Structure 1
């Protein structure tokens, strides 16, 4: 798509490819959401979309991508990549920003199908978008966050060098829950070998990316 070249953007890692999904990819992603993302007793998401019945959960997994594409501007964007592992759709890794041209800061979020848990994929796909942000878009910082009982997400952040940035209090399933904010500085980041970004140059204006003053 000439007018939205983000569809040609790829981030490759030793095991994964991250790309914007095709329509067939979205079907596979919906199936993965129906299979399950996390233990039903837990809720790792601020918006509890996985509490919905299966058909609604599948539609949520699909419609999120259409909404982000339609609302994308250089001032406010969310780039939701599908994560491909061994030719199969494994989950979603997004990176987003508001006023990136000024803030040079991104945030991230993700989910992974349960059958792909426990293989280090979560760390590798977060590393991929951090490589895109710091080495491709010239970001200065990246933020993340997780409920304090989301040990897997917090472990990924710690492994990648994020530092504590405070605590927020949220309502989760009608109860009080704390989320931990985390921040990673460009000065604390080094991309490991084997991570590459492809097709970024024509996308830079859509990300509000350019030279740092």
Structure 2
């Protein structure tokens, strides 16, 4: 296995672990995508989105392609870190950290999904907390953003619980129809106010060193 720093990062909390989504981890997550356990009503994702594909084979194929595209996008300004979420060693979802203009603005966004089998247990908040700890404590980010359709109660509650402030609304498209998005913003100062001391990072130094040489 090639030691590729973006896939070597680990974030461990008392409840779960974020592990770089290499192909072995994607193989563990694929059955959840195939069985439609990523999806929930009301529709949580904007267009285009592989999770809306009705054919399971097409759904998995397009999902893998999107993850691989994100993995290949790497540089000081722009990168996407995809993590498998492990609970008791079992892959139950993904948490991504997305950086745009990172070298100048220090901002990150998040994207995540969780199997329907394990929703309602507070794992969405825990995995976002892990991602934020990596962003702020590990990568020295200045600000984190998030957005979710107004009727995506779960995602909006996670943002609110973690100290994000509302940051306006905008329209987007889901399944060909307009939907209103709630935007959220978390400053470094707001994150520091609720900073946790029970989250462990590993593999970050090698990743930062690689960023510096790109």
2:33 aligns with 33
SS in 1 for 2:75: coil
Is 2:206 aligned against 1:202?
A: yes
1:7 aligns with 7
1:87 aligns with 89
CA separation of 1:206 and 1:144: change in aligned 2, threshold 3 A:
farther
1:193 aligns with 197
Offset of 1:171 from its aligned partner?
2.1
TM-score normalized by the length of structure 2: 0.91
Q: Deviations over 1:129-166 (max 9, x none)?
A: 10011111111110000000000000000000000111
Q: Deviations over 1:58-89 (max 9, x none)?
A: 12332222112222222210101111111111
Which stretches of structure 1, 4 residues or longer, exceed 6 Å deviation after superposition?
none
Is 2:78 aligned against 1:76?
A: yes
Greater CA drift, 187-196 or 9-18: 187-196
Unpaired stretches in structure 2, ≥5 consecutive residues:
none
Alignment map for 1:57-206 (pairs within 5 Å) = 57-189=59-191, 190-206=194-210
Is 2:23 aligned against 1:19?
A: no
Q: Is 1:30–1:59's contact at 8 Å kept on the other side of the alignment?
A: no
Q: Is 2:16–2:127's contact at 8 Å kept on the other side of the alignment?
A: yes
Is 2:50 aligned against 1:49?
A: yes
TM-score normalized by the length of structure 1: 0.91
SS in 1 for 2:140: coil
Question: Considering only aligned residues, what root-mean-square deviation do their CA atoms show, in Å?
Answer: 1.7
Q: Is 2:46–2:175's contact at 8 Å kept on the other side of the alignment?
A: no
SS in 2 for 1:146: strand
Q: Is 2:51–2:63's contact at 8 Å kept on the other side of the alignment?
A: no
Take 1:197 and 1:179, find their aligned partners in 2: how far apart are those partners? 32
SS in 2 for 1:142: strand
Take 1:132 and 1:166, find their aligned partners in 2: how far apart are those partners? 26
SS in 2 for 1:139: coil
Between the two proteins, the alignment pairs up a number of residues equal to 207
Q: Is 1:100–1:207's contact at 8 Å kept on the other side of the alignment?
A: no
